[in-house]
């Protein structure tokens, strides 16, 4: 392995910079050239590529977003686009690629692997929706952002005796809603992986109110539906004051937590190790605090599941 490229693709996540830094510093450590590819796959096609040195990644470990920027590329989904990407890498002498991103980005990486170009995927997404790893880079930071917001909302919910429906990110995955709901003491948690009837939520709010609770927090993953609809339904049926907060993109930003920085540093360094050892088409992950790797296709063919025990616990604690 003479030169490695690194790119970030798809949705950004806090900790991606720590991962980029780790790729670059690991390459320097092994005396392998390293190239930063800007704007994801589209930048790869366009040759937006620059050699990085040890100093290029100074002062970024604490920053959110990605210094390599990200993009979504339709052109890369075509065989012609993929060939251009490979030609660009060959022109720069790049013989291995680290892709930091989510499942869409990994689908892209498999296309390069199919053409015989070695790629390793590093899971970076706040959704924590990638099988083959217990945690993805960015999840812990997003989680902390959500609970900080919920703690603040709870103050005003209590003061005004209100029901708050809080919508968090997660179109297909309920991890953020589940973990944040558990950590912030939400009364109800709605995730796309489980059916929860609105009437069950209503019943819980009613019981709590009769018991003298001054507020209720309902955590809604966006994939379940709009928090506005849930709030309206409750207001209509219980005549309790309800409010909605949609946390939106605040969840994607901010300085990464220590956990995300360490996770990103470990996973990305491991990706370089694998490329150096001649591995290709793998995704790195962490399971029971051990670094692991699996075939990317295998990972993509699995279905993400929420943690069953945590879900049961959240129900037990919010009776």
Can residue 22 be called a binding residue for ligand ADP (CB under 6 A)? Answer: no
How near is the Cβ of 123 to ligand ADP at its closest, in Å? 9
Contact between 168 and 221 under an 8 Å Cβ cutoff? The reply is yes
Can residue 10 be called a binding residue for ligand ADP (CB under 6 A)? Answer: yes
CA–CA distance, 19 with 262 (Å, rounded to integer)? 9
How near is the Cβ of 127 to ligand ADP at its closest, in Å? 8
How near is the Cβ of 82 to ligand ADP at its closest, in Å? 7
187 among annotated binding-site residues = yes
Residues of this chain, 82-101, that bind ligand ADP according to CB under 6 A = 101
Task: Produce one character per residue of 28-60: b if its CB has 16 or more CB atoms within 10 Å, e if not.
Answer: beeebbbbbbbbbbbbbbbebbeebeeebbeeb
Can residue 104 be called a binding residue for ligand ADP (CB under 6 A)? Answer: yes
Residue 104 has a CB neighbour count (10 Å cut-off) of 16
152 among annotated binding-site residues = no
Helix, strand, or coil (residue 113):
helix
Q: Which residues pair with 36 in a beta bridge?
A: 6, 50
Can residue 206 be called a binding residue for ligand ADP (CB under 6 A)? Answer: no
Can residue 204 be called a binding residue for ligand ADP (CB under 6 A)? Answer: no
x-or-dash string of contact with ligand ADP, 106-145, rule CB under 6 A: -xx--x-------------x--------------------
Stretch that binds ligand ADP, among 15-23, 24-32, 51-59, 68-76 (CB under 6 A): 68-76
Q: What are phi and psi of 204, to 5 degrees?
A: -65, -45
How near is the Cβ of 95 to ligand ADP at its closest, in Å? 21
Catalytic residue list: 127
Can residue 103 be called a binding residue for ligand ADP (CB under 6 A)? Answer: yes
214 among annotated binding-site residues = yes
Stretch that binds ligand ADP, among 7-15, 54-62, 181-189, 276-284 (CB under 6 A): 7-15
Contact between 176 and 250 under an 8 Å Cβ cutoff? The reply is no
**Pick from 54, 168, 70, 191: which is nearest to 124 by CA?**
70
Residues of this chain, 23-62, that bind ligand ADP according to CB under 6 A = 41
CA–CA distance, 319 with 314 (Å, rounded to integer)? 9
Handedness of CA 86, 92, 95, 100 (dihedral sign): negative
Beta-carbon contacts of residue 5 (< 8 Å; ≥ 6 apart)? 34, 35, 36, 37, 44, 49, 89, 92, 94, 96, 97, 98
239 among annotated binding-site residues = no
CA–CA distance, 293 with 130 (Å, rounded to integer)? 13
Q: Which residues are annotated as a binding site for ADP?
A: 21-25, 154, 185-187, 211, 213-215
Q: Which residues are annotated as a binding site?
A: 11, 21-25, 72-73, 102-105, 125-127, 154, 162, 169-171, 185-187, 211, 213-215, 222, 243, 249-252
Binding site for ligand ADP (CB under 6 A): 9-11, 41, 72-73, 76-77, 101-105, 107-108, 111, 125
Q: Which residues are annotated as a binding site for substrate?
A: 125-127, 162, 169-171, 222, 243, 249-252
């Amino acid at each position: 392995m003479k030169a490695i490229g690194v790119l970030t693709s798809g949705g950004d996540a806090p900790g991606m910079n720590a991962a980029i830094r780790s790729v670059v510093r690991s390459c320097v450590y092994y005396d392998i050239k390293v190239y930063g590819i800007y704007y994801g796959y589209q930048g790869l096609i366009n040759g937006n590529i620059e050699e990085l040195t040890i100093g290029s990644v100074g002062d970024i470990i604490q920053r959110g977003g990605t210094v390599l920027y990200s993009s979504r590329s339709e052109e890369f989904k075509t065989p012609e686009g993929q060939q251009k990407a490979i030609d660009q890498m060959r022109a720069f002498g790049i013989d291995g690629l680290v892709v930091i991103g989510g499942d869409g980005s990994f689908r892209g990486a498999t296309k390069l692997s199919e053409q015989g170009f070695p790629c390793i995927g590093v899971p970076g997404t706040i959704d924590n929706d990638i099988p083959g790893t217990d945690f993805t880079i960015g999840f812990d930071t997003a989680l902390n952002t959500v609970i900080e917001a919920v703690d603040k909302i709870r103050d005003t919910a209590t003061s005004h005796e209100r029901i708050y429906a809080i919508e968090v990110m997660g179109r297909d995955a309920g991890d953020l809603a589940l973990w944040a709901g558990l950590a912030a003491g939400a009364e109800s948690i709605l995730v796309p992986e489980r059916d929860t009837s609105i009437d069950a939520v209503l019943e819980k709010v009613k019981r709590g109110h009769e018991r003298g609770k001054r507020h209720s927090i309902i955590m809604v993953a966006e994939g379940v539906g709009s928090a506005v609809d849930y709030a309206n339904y409750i207001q209509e049926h219980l005549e309790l004051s309800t409010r909605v907060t949609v946390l939106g993109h605040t969840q994607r930003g901010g300085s990464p937590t220590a956990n995300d920085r360490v996770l990103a540093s470990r996973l990305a360094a491991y990706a370089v190790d694998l490329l150096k050892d001649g591995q290709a088409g793998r995704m790195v992950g962490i399971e029971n605090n051990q670094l692991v790797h699996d075939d990317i296709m295998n990972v993509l063919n699995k279905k993400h599941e929420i943690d069953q025990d945590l879900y049961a616990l959240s129900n037990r604690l919010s009776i």
